[in-house]
Amino acid sequence: MHRPSRSSGSACLSCEPLEDRLTPAFANPPLPGETDAIAIVPNIIGPILIPGYAISRGANVDVFNTDGSLRATFVPFAGFAGQVVVGTGSRDGLGLTTIVASANGHVKVFDRFTGGWASGAEVRSFLAYSGFTGNVSVGGGDVNRDGAADIITGASTNGHVKVFDGRTGAEFKSFFAYPGATGGISVAAGDVNGDGFADIVTGASANGHVKVFDGQSQVPIHSFFAYPGFTGSVSAGAGDLNRDGFDDIITGASVNGHVKAFDGRTGTEFDSFFAFPGARGNVTVAGVDTNTDGTDELLVGVAGGTVNLFDGQNHSLLYSVDPLAAVSRGVFVS
């Protein structure tokens, strides 16, 4: 991650101070009872951090430690019987502190410090798209550079992206990433141009069309098809894999867990490998510096509940988590 000097405070989204990213969550319609999102926030800067990840299991959200043990379970939308989409975040360098949940266009934010996870402590609730009840993905980053992670949402119609202030909840950005599109999109954030503002990364689920928008102006920085000719599900994330101080773009395809990395500054592909050979199902990707060496590792999740952490440069498997092996669909990581 590019880490220029910033104002005090933290938008820590993968447990590193001044992090610019929050969990990308994909807006593909899940089947009843299936896990739709997994997000991991490793503990990498000290004992005060609480690592973990969240899983949406039908209408429930389960919070796990990174060793796979269950920490808490809560229901973000009382009376809702469908599938919830989740994202995770952090504030003030304290690890997994925030969970963002979405259902039928309704977004809620839960904070560990307001009653704890077990109580499902809601701190914010809003409709991301008035009158829209379709699938909405959630992610985020410090788009306005105020030291707090803002909430990024993506609607499955026209790739409508919005950004809501992380401190006030007020909407302050709105644009269409994929005009005319009707499929799901993933949303994430990373500073690809090194200006200190989180840029917005989107991935179209149907054709692998990846776009990166400047966080300040929304002017497109990059636009490319990660897997030419491929029409399956593709997700996008961000992380500094080549240790140049700028976030790179990471993609994951739903066949063989095909992961690619593209230089954040140039958009040029520089890495490609198969994280889950033979696997078929939604794959999500993210970059996190788990050992504070300045280079991000790769978190890759695949349908079935498996999350693998790979070395960002040589792809060696560092660890694997399989909390819900019986689940057969979407897994999402950050």
What does the alpha-carbon distance between residue 318 and residue 277 come to, in Å, rounded to a whole number? 17
Position 3 scores a pLDDT of: 46
Position 234 scores a pLDDT of: 86
10, two tokens: 């933290």
What does the alpha-carbon distance between residue 161 and residue 164 come to, in Å, rounded to a whole number? 10
Position 333 scores a pLDDT of: 53
Position 91 scores a pLDDT of: 55
Instruction: Tell me the sheet residues that pair with 224.
Output: 210
Residues of the chain under the 70 pLDDT cut = 1-58, 64-69, 81-97, 112-120, 304-305, 322-334
pTM > 0.75: yes
Contact 257, 279 (CB under 8 A): yes
Q: How far is CA 42 from the centre of its chain?
A: 14
What does the alpha-carbon distance between residue 258 and residue 60 come to, in Å, rounded to a whole number? 29
Contact 301, 23 (CB under 8 A): no
Position 228 scores a pLDDT of: 93
Position 136 scores a pLDDT of: 87
Q: 269: how many CB neighbours lie within 10 A of its CB?
A: 14
Q: 31: how many CB neighbours lie within 10 A of its CB?
A: 11
Domain locations in the chain as residue ranges: 35-232+306-321
The superfamily CATH assigns to domain 35-232+306-321 is YVTN repeat-like/Quinoprotein amine dehydrogenase (2.130.10.10)
What does the alpha-carbon distance between residue 106 and residue 85 come to, in Å, rounded to a whole number? 10
Work out the burial of residue 55: count CB atoms within 10 Å of its CB; fewer than 13 is exposed, 13-18 middle, 19 or more buried: buried
- Strand bridging mode 297-302 / 98-103: unpaired
What does the alpha-carbon distance between residue 3 and residue 105 come to, in Å, rounded to a whole number? 33
